[in-house]
Amino acid sequence: MTVLPPLPSADPAIVPYLVVVPAGSFAMGENDEDKFANDTERPRHEVAIPRDFGMSVFPVTVGEFRAFRPGHAPRESADLPAVGISWLDATGYCEWLGEQTGRAFRLPTEAEWEYACRAGSRDIFTHGNTLDTDQANYLYSEHGMKVGRGHRTPCGVFPPNAFGLFDMHGNVCEWAQDTWHPDYLGAPNDGSAWIEGGRRGWRVIRGGAWDYLPRLLRTSWRDALPEAIRRDNVGFRVACDL
């Protein structure tokens, strides 16, 4: 894991910790052993990430987002992942962060997000084909009483993946750049964002959240929401070109 050095022109209190995600290739989409895979995750296809990129170690926190939007969630702990943030809010934060730092920040593309989540793994989850309660924050059961932590947890409570990224499964869903397409037919294979076509005004979310069952935390799971909507279980993390 390579951690990017602090940006000398920026206040370190407002810049998320970043790691370098190395260039490489991977099979994007459903795992053949995954009984919960669906057509939105097909066809599985090879994607090459042509160059290293930076990605925030954690989802953007309440404290970091407050630097952009003072007064955001004033009663919440600064180390929680920020939620109640639309895709438009998230891209606005990226633009603002770029102005503060001199580095162009953006949302990760959907392909970058899955590649970073896998971190070299071909399994259903980054840590294997099952998910334990000490690996992520999620809803444990759909039978009877809802069992789980019942709320967001501070960033970094659970172990990171092989790229040093935390909370890629659960806690909060995360926005990606891409417009929603119902499957991967015609998807780019170079790691770029798939913007053309698709459902206008709807953007991809990934990773699942604290109130989602494990099948919705799978590495290949994908869904979408209107880009202006705000949800209490949806946040984001930032990426940047190097």
Strand, helix or coil for residue 73: coil
Assign residue 113 a region: left if phi > 0, alpha if psi is -120 to 50, beta otherwise?
A: alpha
Domains contained in the chain, number: 1
What domain range includes position 204? 2-241
Identify the band that residue 8 occupies on the pLDDT scale cut at 50, 70 and 90: low
pLDDT at 5: 57
What SS3 state is found at 81? strand
The b/e string for 40-61 (b: 16+ C-beta within 10 A; e otherwise) is: bbeeeeebebeeebbbbbbbbb
Convert the pLDDT of each residue in 56-89 to its tens digit: 999 999 999 999 999 999 899 999 999 999 999 9
Distance separating alpha carbons of residues 187 and 200, to the nearest angstrom: 16
Strands (E) in the chain, as ranges, are 2-3, 18-21, 24-28, 45-49, 53-56, 105-106, 139-141, 147-148, 173-180, 199-206, 222-226, 234-235, 239-241
Side-chain-facing half-sphere of 166: CA atoms under 13 Å = 21
Q: Is 17 helix (H, G, I), strand (E, B) or coil?
A: coil
CATH number, position 13: 3.90.1580.10
The tokens describing 235, both together, are 């946040």
Tokens read off for 104: 């162009």
To the nearest whole percent, how much of the chain has pLDDT over 70? 91
What is the pLDDT confidence band of residue 10, given thresholds at 50, 70 and 90? low
pLDDT tens-digit map of 22-32: 999 999 998 77
Beta strands 239-241 and 105-106, pairing class: antiparallel
In angstroms and rounded to an integer, the radius of gyration of the C-alpha atoms of the chain is: 17
CB 7 within 8 A of CB 102: yes
pLDDT of 170 reads 96
Tokens representing residue 41 in the block = 């995750």
